[in-house]
């Protein structure tokens, strides 16, 4: 998928604590049995949850003068108990419950939300095939990124990223890496006229890129933070808006809508009402399935919903969105190659973990 290639290109240039507060597993049926309130409405706010940006975004806690979106906050108390022999929660149930939980968000101080920058941190990773031609193996290359995305075009957006090194992706890859002599550096060929790509096991220096104005992309085009603040909070109107803005090619309508909603709930600074609408829109898409309880690449627990599409080569590519069903907080996105059949375990190809996001009026760091 092209999304995976974007991560690879960024890596070439180059959340903490668990969501659960104990060993008890999530009771998805109890969570989705939570009474739904679809009539409650609140005034629109500019606080939003972390997002999918250019080149990518977020990672760790920031000392910024703004309300921070806590990704490790304790879940709300459950108002329903699990029922014996109840069927597993469906993707639609999980998404609608997430929408209702998101819509219940409260902001203590409206003034603290306003800021010049949307500051977001992520960890991103992608697999690369390396090693001898006859005995290749995969390594997982990681970077962290901190993005200061300007609210208005008059300010400059700043992107700080740092390579976190690379290591064999799986135990089988570790064994192959050892047979290859346990190298700490790999060189991959580059397109004609460009330098070869050198990947190292060690972390690299923190680097900076800047761009004038905002760095948000939705529907295949750049959008301003002001435009994001006026998105429709009704799922049908949001769907119509996204379809009108679609400039992508090579994607089905469902894939495009799932991806766009994925960005809105994970990456973009949008209101809780818009994120709730995005969850409800996803719940109405055909082909969206649940993978049940999962852990992300940092071991954080949640549930995953996914959309799977067969590519031109006949392989199945899958996009996964991972979120806490108790709060509706999305915190990870993953891409998987399932091979020719969905019956296998598949292989992780890339991921994005959001670790923090907040509005800030502070001056961005110089380096």
Q: Provide φ and ψ at 341, rounded to 5°.
A: -135, 140
* Per-residue confidence (pLDDT) for residue 359, from 0 to 100: 86
Mean local confidence (pLDDT), 324-343: 90
Q: Judge whether 152 lies within some domain.
A: yes
Is 46 within 8 Å of 335 (Cβ atoms)? no
Q: Judge whether 366 lies within some domain.
A: no
Q: Judge whether 32 lies within some domain.
A: no
Mean local confidence (pLDDT), 236-242: 96
Number of domains composing the chain: 1
C-alpha 288/C-alpha 259 separation (Å) is 11
Mean local confidence (pLDDT), 111-139: 88
Q: Which domain holds residue 194?
A: 2-16+43-71+87-358
Question: pLDDT for 50-59, tens place per residue?
Answer: 334 434 333 3
Q: Which of 48-62, 156-170, 222-236 has the lowest mean pLDDT?
A: 48-62
pLDDT at position 35 over 50: no
Mean local confidence (pLDDT), 239-248: 88
Q: Exposed, middle or buried: residue 177 (CB in 10 Å: 0-12, 13-18, 19+)? A: buried
**How confident is residue 252, by pLDDT bands cut at 50, 70 and 90?**
confident
pLDDT at position 261 over 70: yes
* Per-residue confidence (pLDDT) for residue 211, from 0 to 100: 86
**How confident is residue 27, by pLDDT bands cut at 50, 70 and 90?**
low
* Per-residue confidence (pLDDT) for residue 3, from 0 to 100: 53
Q: Which of 24-28, 41-45, 212-216 has the lowest mean pLDDT?
A: 41-45
**How confident is residue 112, by pLDDT bands cut at 50, 70 and 90?**
very low
Q: Judge whether 364 lies within some domain.
A: no
Is 57 within 8 Å of 51 (Cβ atoms)? yes
Q: Exposed, middle or buried: residue 205 (CB in 10 Å: 0-12, 13-18, 19+)? A: exposed
Top-confidence residue, 247 or 197 = 197
Alpha carbon distances (Å) from 293 to 246, 290, 299, 338, 354: 32, 9, 12, 18, 18
- Which is nearest to 225 in space by CA: 241, 238, 239, 214? 214
Q: Tokens for 212?
A: 């004038």
* Per-residue confidence (pLDDT) for residue 335, from 0 to 100: 96
Mean local confidence (pLDDT), 190-210: 92
Mean local confidence (pLDDT), 348-355: 96
Exposure letters 314-324 (e unless 16+ CB within 10 A, then b): eebbbbbbbbb
Q: Judge whether 180 lies within some domain.
A: yes
């Amino acid at each position: 998928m092209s999304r995976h290639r974007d991560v690879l290109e960024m890596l070439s240039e180059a959340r903490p604590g668990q969501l659960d507060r104990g060993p008890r597993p999530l009771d998805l049926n109890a969570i989705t049995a939570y009474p739904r309130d679809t009539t409650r409405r609140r005034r629109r706010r500019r606080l939003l949850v972390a997002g999918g940006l250019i080149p990518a975004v977020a990672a760790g806690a920031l000392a910024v003068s703004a309300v921070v979106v806590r990704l490790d906050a304790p879940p709300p108390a459950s108002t329903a108990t699990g029922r014996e022999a109840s069927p597993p929660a469906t993707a639609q149930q999980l998404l609608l419950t997430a929408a209702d939980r998101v819509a219940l968000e409260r902001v203590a101080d409206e003034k603290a939300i306003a800021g010049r920058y949307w500051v977001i941190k992520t960890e991103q990773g992608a697999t690369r095939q390396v090693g001898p031609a006859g005995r290749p193996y995969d390594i997982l290359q990681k970077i962290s990124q901190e993005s200061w995305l300007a609210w208005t075009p008059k300010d400059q957006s700043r992107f700080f990223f740092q390579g976190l090194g690379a290591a064999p992706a799986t135990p089988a890859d570790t064994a192959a890496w050892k047979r290859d002599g346990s190298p700490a550096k790999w060189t991959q060929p580059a397109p004609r006229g460009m330098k070869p790509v050198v990947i190292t096991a060690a972390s690299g220096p923190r680097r900076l890129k800047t761009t004038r104005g905002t760095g948000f992309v939705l529907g295949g085009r750049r959008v301003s933070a002001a435009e994001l603040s006026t998105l429709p909070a009704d799922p049908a109107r949001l769907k119509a808006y996204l379809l009108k803005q679609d400039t992508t090619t090579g994607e089905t309508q469902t894939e495009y809508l799932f991806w766009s909603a994925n960005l809105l709930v994970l990456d973009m600074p949008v209101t809780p009402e818009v994120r709730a609408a995005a969850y409800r829109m996803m719940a109405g898409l055909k082909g969206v399935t649940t993978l049940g309880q999962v852990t992300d690449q940092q071991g954080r627990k949640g549930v995953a919903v996914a959309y799977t599409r067969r590519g031109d080569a006949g392989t199945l590519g899958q996009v996964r969105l991972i979120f806490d069903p108790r709060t509706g907080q999305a915190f990870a996105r993953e891409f998987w190659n399932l091979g020719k059949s969905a019956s296998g375990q598949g292989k992780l190809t890339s991921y994005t973990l959001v670790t923090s996001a907040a509005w800030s009026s502070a001056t961005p760091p110089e380096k």
